[in-house]
Structure 1
Amino acid sequence: MSLFNLGFARHTGGRFVLRIEDTDRARYRADSEAQLGDTLRWLGITWDEGPDVGGPYAPYRQSERLDTYRPVVERLLEQGDAYYCWCTPERLAQVREEQAKAKSSVVGYDRFCLGKTREEREAEPGFSGTPVVRLKVPDDVELTFPDLIRGPVSAPPPDDQVILKADGFPTYHLAVVVDDHEMGITHVVRGEEWISSTPKHRLLYRLLGWPEPAWVHMPLLRNTDHSKISKRKNPAARLTWFREEGYLPEALVNFLCLLGYPPIIEPDGTEREVFSFEEFVQGFDFAKVNPAGPIVNLAKLDHLNGVHIRALEVRDLASRLLPFLERDGVLSGNPSLGELARLTRVAELIQPRLVKLADATPLVAPFYAPDDAVPIADDARAGLKGDVAGILDAAVAALEAIPLDDGDLLASTTPWNHEAIEAALRAALLDEMGLKPRVAFAPLRTAISGQRVSPPLFESMDVIGRHGTLTRLKSLRASL
């Protein structure tokens, strides 16, 4: 929702407001606000007004605005548009159970307290000494309203919703209406699960004599089986999961935009799915949003993420890989300049094959292993075939003839680089020994990376260097 709120605000020159709706104290978590802010900033979503930046309508936490809501509740009580309800949770549960057993077409609160004084209600069963306040919903409440995505929308009849809880905190239904009015909100963009609540919110605007905002209800994201995404069942419902997995924020934004919005149409009529948030903003229009619930296809996200990774500058990619490598113990939290320089070279090697940043760890780790103690995977060792010792001996001899650089006068004049490495090894193993590349280079790959599959072999040797490469080859040879 935030992306589309922000996209619309930026397109129209409006202001995007971040408000913390923390009136549900039973579900309140002290760290949620910080996590929300961190995640939105990671995605590049910034706000013009909010708890941390201030604004003309501060405070922006609903728990700090209680004095704003109470006068509105008192006004509705005085107008006869709201009333006290003293029913206990047990009585309300019983009412719901009886309605379900009777398969009643009318469900919800039965108005047992409507029109009664405290004394009258106290004389009856199911009484609580701490009342709530309910909105009195008229029988002729308007149920159809215009939506900028869906056109005319009809919602089911609402019951008398609680607007002030027993703890003195307003419910969402009252708080958002009051805050949206006080903060000058012109467009309410939220999920389609709130369609059923919109008649209550519109009623509050009418009862209070306030201008009504425009309504926009975005489609809900769906699993591949078309069920609603649940945070308890699908980790992809948590934005922090994408960050932990190594998705780029720009790729995730691109993906989320595509879930509810069509690709960009080029001047020649072709569609382009890879685009920036700025391009999304430039052509933003709620009329383009598809109201059908989009399917969260992580394979599509993987593709987009790979495209965005390959578009990064190598140094940028290396810096983005660093937190994952530190997390996984490949590098310390204070890497040396040499380690950082090597990471830039390695990042260039693995960039074409990366899907997520977290995938880099097994590819990068061998480049930081001790040259004389590279961990050899069981499947890599088991896959070694033929005269492995002879291949390694011949490779060592061929590579020892290559100098470290042009200044090495004790060897040939060919410098140590991946072209020279490849030429020397092909001559020694393919031409002289008559081996096929798969047989010839498998032991070398195992010695260098410890894996059956690794970044490009000759380029890896170039990065590791002459001494490191020879040490690794000799170490595997000694272990046979």
Structure 2
Amino acid sequence: MSVVTRFAPSPTGYLHIGGARTALYSWLYARKHGGRFVLRIEDTDRERSTDEAVQAILDAMHWLDLEHDGEIYYQTQRFDRYAEVIDWLLAEGWAYRCYSSAEEVEAMREAARARGEKPKYDGTWRPMPGKTLPEPPEGVDPVIRFATPLEGTTVIPDLVKGEIAIANTELDDLIIARADGTPTYNFCVVVDDMDMGITHVIRGDDHVNNTPRQINILKALIGEDGELPYYAHVPMILGPDGKRLSKRHGAVGVMTFREQGFLPSALLNYLVRLGWAHGDQEIFTREEMIEHFDIANVQGGASTFDPEKLLWVNQEHIKAAEPMDLANELAWHLARHGIEGVDAHRLAKIAAVQQARCKTMAEMAEQSLFLFREVDEYAPKAVKKHIKTATPDLLAQVHDGLAKLDAWEEEAVAATVREVAESNEVGMGKVAQPIRIALTGGPVSPSIDDTLVLLGRETTLARLDAAVSAFRELKAD
């Protein structure tokens, strides 16, 4: 069997992490088995689906680099196909027209409840041998219902939950087309999965109740001996409080995690571990996820979203990354601060210096702003603690020593700073911290030699010169 999986979001909002995990599991399973990964936009709910939501989903999938195979399918472009299949089901006796109003159907359900039975449509308009159907009421457009088998059991071959059996008597005659002719979700999904050759349907376990209905429709289309897809219903993700994930603890759009400074590789690493494990390994590369992932090893119980664990995973990915691989995300975050057009090689050098110090890319960008912005003021507490009467002269010596260098390299600038400290018989801290404040405005930055090299000769000398004057003025006051 050639494996074909799919991710089929409804564009009624952003792509949240539950959907992202489903997409990841489907993508990994296809890649693991050398199969295909289909992206399908289920946009038949025109009242709630928006172009903005479609774009948000596509942007998130692109950022996560969960590339699909072939074209993107849109259900709204397949209405002719759905109509064709409905006509076939009607002709073959697998579907029928129902003229019952919503109020009448609700009355049927209430009556069933009163009898202690499962509330469902009673089959008034379902053709049966020897049954005379009512006269269709004038001016009423019927819905189309699927004629669910009245006997037997529908078995779901579930790779996560194990085999699930549902008695067909528990199922309703599902509406597959509304009175205005638009097809319904459960019907469209079946036709799409059949036409696209989907072999493994991986989705959230909130779809378990839909699956037997979909299987019955599929059996009608492919025959009892036709090959059903395998299903894998993955459990939901809970918040730290044990309740269903909500916005206050993580159920936000995937791109919000980008804004917060998470790497796509880190988010995927964290999501793959929400319900799946490979021994005690916590940190995975994309290649390792593909190599080791198996949907059959996904646990059946719900997983808990832990923001602190995600932050740790992100920091590990930042530390382990090749600096050039961080350049694009660093550029994106710097652009949010109005800094654009920075050369990728310079960004990689910045990332190499900063990556061991930062938990997020947003933090890395913020801690690198001093490289691109003039120093407008010096932190008062830092000045009070580190700027002494002798400081301006020490900084002037550093300035003059650096100005004489032939090559602006780490070893040379470090030796110059060290020489000033030694010749004045003061500790490195008496020189290094004032330099840091002069160059960044505050007491925190990468190592002094890294800071000098990243700033470059011209900017370093200009800022030192300005600080000498400012600190002399300050001490004169």
TM band (smaller chain): 0.7 to 0.9
1:304-323 to structure 2, matched below 5 A, reads 304-323=313-332
Judged with a 3 Å threshold, the aligned counterparts in structure 2 of structure 1 residues 182 and 397 are, in CA distance, closer, same or farther, namely closer
Does structure 1 residue 175 correspond to structure 2 residue 166?
A: no
Q: How far 1:38 sits from its partner (Å)?
A: 3.0
Match in the other structure for 1:62: 75
Q: Would the alpha carbon gap of residues 355 and 143 (structure 1) be closer, same or farther in structure 2, given more than 3 Å must change? A: same
**Residues 111-164 of structure 1 deviation map (CA, whole Å, 9 limit, x = unaligned):** 5655699974638xxxx8333222233443525432112212245833332211
Query: Within 2, Cα distance between the matches of 1:347 and 1:316?
Result: 9
| Residue 239 in structure 1 maps to residue 254 in structure 2 | yes
Residue 411 of structure 1 aligns with which residue? none
Query: 3-state SS of the aligned residue for 1:163?
Result: strand
Residue 174 (structure 1) shift: 0.8
Relative to the length of structure 1, the TM-score reads 0.80
SS of 1:22's equivalent?
coil
What secondary structure does 1:28 align onto? coil
> Is 1:213 the equivalent of 2:229?
yes
Matched with 2:17 is: none
Shift, 1:341, TM fit: 6.2
In structure 2, how many angstroms separate the alpha carbons of the residues matched to 1:189 and 1:136?
Answer: 26
Aligned to 1:268: none
Report the residue type matching 2:447 in the other structure: P
Greater relative contact order (CA < 8 Å, ≥ 6 in sequence): 2
Say yes or no: does 1:13 pair with 2:34.
yes
Distance 1:170 1:390, change over 3 A: same
State the partner residue of 2:153: 142
Q: 1:474 aligns with which of 447, 468, 474?
A: 468
1:425–1:319 distance in 2 versus 1, CA, 3 Å: farther
Corresponding residue pairs, total: 440
* Cα gap change, 1:109 to 1:101, in 2 (>3 Å): closer
User: What residue identity is the alignment partner of 2:464?
Assistant: L
Aligned residue in 2 for 1:56: none
- What percent of counterpart residues are identical? 31
Matches within 5 A, 1:20-39: 20-39=41-60
CA shift for structure 1 position 99: 7.9
Change over 3 Å in CA distance of 1:419–1:93 after alignment to 2 = farther
RMSD between aligned residues: 3.4
Q: Which stretch of structure 1 is more off in the superposition, 441-450 or 61-70?
A: 441-450
Correspondence for 1:299: 308
CA distance change for structure 1 residues 287 and 387 in 2, over 3 Å: closer, same or farther?
Answer: closer
**Matching residue of 2:67:** 46
Task: Name the structure 1 match of 2:267.
Answer: 252
Structure 1 segments unaligned to the other structure (5+ residues): 52-59, 266-270, 409-413
For 2:466 and 2:125, how far apart are their aligned partners in 1? 82
1:221 aligned partner, one-letter code: I
Distance 1:341 1:418, change over 3 A: farther
SS in 1 for 2:140: strand
- C-alpha separation between the residues in 1 aligned to 2:59 and 2:313? 23
Partner of 1:199: 212
TM-score by length of 2: 0.80
Counterpart of 2:239?
Answer: 223
Contact 1:448–1:469 (Cα < 8 Å) also in 2: yes
Provide the C-alpha distance between the structure 2 equivalents of 1:7 and 1:387, rounded to a whole number of angstroms.
Answer: 54
**Shift in CA distance, 253/76, structure 1 to aligned 2, threshold 3 Å:** same
Distance 2:284 2:416 in 1: 40
Q: For residue 462 of structure 1, report the CA deviation from its aligned partner.
A: 4.2
Q: CA deviation at 1:36?
A: 2.6
Correspondent of 1:418 among 398, 414, 425: 414
Is 1:369 paired with 2:373? yes
TM superposition shift of 1:13? 2.4
Does the residue aligned with 1:16 lie in a helix, a strand or coil? strand
The DSSP-based 3-state class of the residue aligned with 1:149 is: coil
2:201 is the alignment partner of 1:188: yes
Alignment check: 8 A CA contact 1:147 1:217 kept: yes
